[in-house]
Structure 1
Amino acid sequence: MVFSGKLRAIDLFCGCGGISVGLQEAGFDIVAGIDVEKKYIASFEHNFPDAKALLTDITTVSPADFMLEVGIAPGELDLLVGGPPCQGFSKNVPRRNRFLEDPKNLLVKSFLDYCETLQPKMILMENVAEMKNGFKEAYSQEIISRLEDEGYTVTTVILNAADYGVPQRRKRAFFMANRFNIKLSPPPQTNHPRTKADNAPHDLFTQKKHVSVWEAIGDLPSVKHGEGHTLTEYASPPQNEYQKRMRGTLTSTTNHVARHLASIQYERLASIQPGQGLKDLPKHLQTKGGYSGAYGRLTKDMIAPTITRWVFHPGSGRWGHPVDIRTLTIREIARIQSFPDHYKFVGSYTDQAGQLGNAVPPLLATVVANHMQNQVASVRNDVRESQHTLSLASLNAIA
């Protein structure tokens, strides 16, 4: 057997738990999560009460001590995942092994230290898309080389979350590794760009296309800025497959409260139409500068831009609701990030926005994790069947 019993996973740099909830959907048991940010790991701890939530700096805890803490021996863990923050991209470092020596990359180095000590059956590392191709791939090649030295076969790929059912354009790099000598392929695309013929609303049985903003949040009730309730009933039955998946069996959800806007912020959003933004503001409401998408309003049929930790501020991006004069609620942001509606976020509005902006979309994590374990199991089964066939042929030859 490749795996036995329920697969176990540990999430380093877990944040609020984006990868973890995705792995849970893929059938994994989350053993532990570790993060240095108290405001972020609070949501992980709330939603994974049976997992160890370790609030600590990973660089100060040796992998050996960590294994004792969570009760894992080398080679026992099925999957180690993590998205270590990565900032050091210096072109002035000529030697191949200098990338990970940059202090800005200390967390990536620590992640690899944990990989080498825990020796999990599979590894999944997520990071910015630039990591894979930057500096003629020297950065990613160093990571691959270090994992290969430990007996892993590594595949790197850049995935756009929108291509896998997430209603958001978000490109990220994934390093998929395993100890079974299997060269994993990228997960096949499940959702495709829309054409002019795809303007009609999708029901539960149509071919999968990119999920639009309104398909993601259209069943959530209208609220005014500064209003909303801790517990909110849905405005309608689920209108499509995505809403049905996010809701499950729930009849109400949480975190659907709109942030109160300053008067000038409200006036700016109220002065423009869905699809418009900073350049469309009346002269008396213009700002001196800002992001190109600042004070932008979403449209119902668009795919949302990449959610950032600044999603709480209308001047930081296209976060205006396509119908109401307000920014998105935490539940709407969570929907665009593909967190299921049962997932509760704790902390202030800005804390929760930060958690979501830094999270890996759970649905994307589910797709990648399922593809990894299914492909490993399939290849290993093919090998066993081939060996069995050869054994039968040998016995027949002897007979």
Structure 2
Amino acid sequence: MRIIDLFSGAGGLTFGFYYRIKQNKFVRNRKNSFVFANELDPFAAEAFKANFPDIRMINEDIKQLDKDTIEQMIGEEPVDLIIGGPPCQSFSTVGQRVFDEKATLYEEYLRILSIAKPKIFLFENVKGMLSMRETFYKKDKDGNIVYEVKKNKETGSERKYPVVEGYGRKIIDIIKEKFAFITDDLGYNISCEVLNTVDYGVPENRERVFVVGIRKDLDMEWKYPTAIKADKLSVKDAISDLPVVLENQNITNYTSQPQNEYQRLMRGHNNVLTEHYCGVYGGKIRTVIQNVKQGEGKEDFNKLVENGVVDKKYRLTSGYKNTYGRLIEDIPAPTITNNMTAPSGLRCIHYSQNRALTPREGARIQSFPDWFEFRGGVGSVTTQIGNAVPPLMALKLAKQIEKLLKG
């Protein structure tokens, strides 16, 4: 397949088309080649180049990629597939949803579809995209959006929110319609489904929307990959072989052998451990971590305060119900987020050690192999991991698309 990779990030979705698994090892999939990849964030683009050095990476705003440049890169050979998903923050149901410029980046995906005319496209985003609507904001006489300050009932914090005047159509309906009828001569038969990565060999409950389009002149019918019926992998299955990390430690060597097939796959022939470190916590955070058991979080800790088990000065007044939560070792992880290294994040305290996850543990849970490189500071690294399509999920989708094109 000849592939164009848009909004690539560090390359989680790319990974599934670049590699295949043979004898429980990742090996290069020579059947696929990439015309180019595009990513705006410089650290993500740098990580992408480190992991996929033979793919041409265009590190710039997708809006700057003009028709002539794209056609020149494509050349005479047809494009089989476009993959990618625009930034998801606008659609996410965690935090503040804003209908901003990022929420309409699907228009750029559509523009490049109209130029490249691939046989198939694969578009990915968060589940929240299904409920997001066009939003019309109140504006002042100069055309600037008007904001109001609201207090969060749960956290007590105050934030500015744009004043909403009304709502339009659902974004997913707009995308389906526009992608189905791009021009009079070009359109795609659209399939849309929510898949949970835990059903495809990833030790993480992560629901994502996958939109697949088949060009209308092709006699093909898309079917999403079948869910694996085997037992779901747990957090412990994923990371139990990684060394213990204490506060202010950065561990670079393995201290034990892999304990199962998943860990063997993730290690490969890797010898040097990267991104396996922990920062330093204050007294309050240490107290919280030490008193939160598996499956517990903020509310359980505050009950200890109310019952006099923990001093009232440690009471938690910020964060959501599932923040300051400890993972449960024998079930899959909840969705790994960009805040995985902060104990105040969404259930990301290690199941047995008194700390939050390390970036490498987060990457493992996302099914990135240990030799996969990330770039930038901790915030950049965790964003690259948290925003990615898990590689094992991508592999399943790639295999299904290959089967379709063969048939």
Shift of 1:48: 1.4
Residue number in structure 1 paired with 2:115: 117
Amino acid at match of 2:13: I
Partner of residue 343 from structure 2, selected from 314, 317, 322:
314
Partner of residue 390 from structure 2, selected from 334, 357, 361:
361
Partner of residue 246 from structure 2, selected from 224, 228, 241:
224
Residue number in structure 2 paired with 1:168: 204
| Partner Cα separation in structure 2 for residue 239 and residue 107 of structure 1 | 43
Shift of 1:258: 2.0
**TM superposition score normalised by structure 2:** 0.77
Residue number in structure 2 paired with 1:82: 84
| Partner Cα separation in structure 1 for residue 371 and residue 315 of structure 2 | 40
Amino acid at match of 1:127: N
Contact 1:8 1:77 (C-alpha < 8 Å) held by counterparts: yes
Amino acid at match of 1:233: Y
Partner of residue 16 from structure 1, selected from 10, 33, 45:
10
Distance 1:280 1:74, change over 3 A: farther
C-alpha deviations, 1:309-349, integer Å up to 9, x for none?
12222112111011111111111000111111110112111
Contact 1:73 1:118 (C-alpha < 8 Å) held by counterparts: no
Contact 1:259 1:349 (C-alpha < 8 Å) held by counterparts: no
**Counterpart secondary structure, 2:87:** coil
| Partner Cα separation in structure 1 for residue 88 and residue 243 of structure 2 | 38
Contact 2:295 2:326 (C-alpha < 8 Å) held by counterparts: yes
Shift of 1:256: 1.4
Residue number in structure 2 paired with 1:65: 69
**TM superposition score normalised by structure 1:** 0.79
Contact 1:74 1:117 (C-alpha < 8 Å) held by counterparts: no
User: Mind listing any 5+ residue stretches in structure 2 that lack a counterpart?
Assistant: 21-28, 92-98, 133-168, 306-311
Amino acid at match of 1:275: G
With 245-254 and 141-150 compared, the bigger mean Cα shift is at 141-150
Residue number in structure 1 paired with 2:159: none
The correspondence of residues 245-394 of structure 1 with structure 2, limited to 5 A, is 245-281=265-301, 282-283=304-305, 284=312, 285-378=314-407
| Partner Cα separation in structure 1 for residue 71 and residue 369 of structure 2 | 30
Amino acid at match of 2:118: P
Partner of residue 141 from structure 1, selected from 142, 161, 176:
176
Residue number in structure 2 paired with 1:33: 37
C-alpha deviations, 1:112-137, integer Å up to 9, x for none?
11011011232111112243476675
Shift of 1:170: 0.8
Contact 2:3 2:34 (C-alpha < 8 Å) held by counterparts: yes
Partner of residue 44 from structure 1, selected from 48, 51, 56:
48
C-alpha deviations, 1:364-399, integer Å up to 9, x for none?
111011111113313xxxxxxxxxxxxxxxxxxxxx
Count residues with an aligned counterpart.
Answer: 341
Shift of 1:303: 1.3
Shift of 1:143: 4.0
Amino acid at match of 1:254: T
Contact 1:168 1:337 (C-alpha < 8 Å) held by counterparts: yes
With 258-267 and 40-49 compared, the bigger mean Cα shift is at 258-267
Distance 1:362 1:240, change over 3 A: same
Distance 1:251 1:38, change over 3 A: closer
| Partner Cα separation in structure 2 for residue 234 and residue 370 of structure 1 | 35
| Partner Cα separation in structure 2 for residue 261 and residue 148 of structure 1 | 56
Shift of 1:161: 0.6
Residue number in structure 2 paired with 1:383: none
User: Mind listing any 5+ residue stretches in structure 1 that lack a counterpart?
Assistant: 1-6, 90-100, 192-207, 379-399
Amino acid at match of 2:264: K
C-alpha deviations, 1:61-110, integer Å up to 9, x for none?
22432342xx2137622221111135778xxxxxxxxxxx9845331000
Amino acid at match of 1:239: Q
| Partner Cα separation in structure 1 for residue 2 and residue 219 of structure 2 | 20
1:213 is the counterpart of 2:248: no
Residue number in structure 2 paired with 1:387: none
Q: Give me the identity figure in percent.
A: 34
Shift of 1:185: 0.8
Shift of 1:251: 4.0
Contact 2:327 2:348 (C-alpha < 8 Å) held by counterparts: yes
